[in-house]
Structure 1
Amino acid sequence: MGQLATGSRPFRTRWAAHDVKTHKTGKKTFQNPLIGEVTLPFENLTVAAASEQVLTVFTPQPGSPEHDAIRLLASWNAHSPNAEKAEFSPDT
């Protein structure tokens, strides 16, 4: 937290104001060494059996460059010698 506070005025301002909000939906950008930068839409879902837990689901739009990149990444992992065997439907 110290580096953020000293290196980012917007962070410092928001932290001091206690302006913390839960985001139910949005977009998050990831940097992956194999597929590069991808921005994925997400939705946070509350777990009914444990209301203090939240499940975050990232779902790229079918046919989008992000969808293709995630599928490519999944295919690399699926063919890894250390990957566990799992069923994968190309239409899901």
Structure 2
Amino acid sequence: MASMQPGSIRGNHAHASAAEWLLLCGGPATLVAGEEEVLVSGEEPELFEIPAGLPHAIVNRSGREIFLVVFYEEKDLQTSPEKLL
């Protein structure tokens, strides 16, 4: 579980060999995954699957702390930096 302060960005990376699942609790927030940008209202928790190799990032657009619960397909995760936000 991770927290995000207002205006903060998490991610800006990709995982070469593992899918990632993000449960986003709170918002509004923006999830960028590859070329796709999704506005998350934060009214209800939302689950997203990020395929292996897809660059992704999240920005907290709210005025309060929000939370992420993150699950990975692999225990030993290979992460490479990417610049999305």
Q: Same fold (TM over 0.5)?
A: no
Q: Which has the higher helix share?
A: 1
Q: TM-score, normalization: structure 2?
A: 0.23
Name the structure with the higher strand share: 2
What is the TM-score of this pair, normalised by structure 1? 0.22
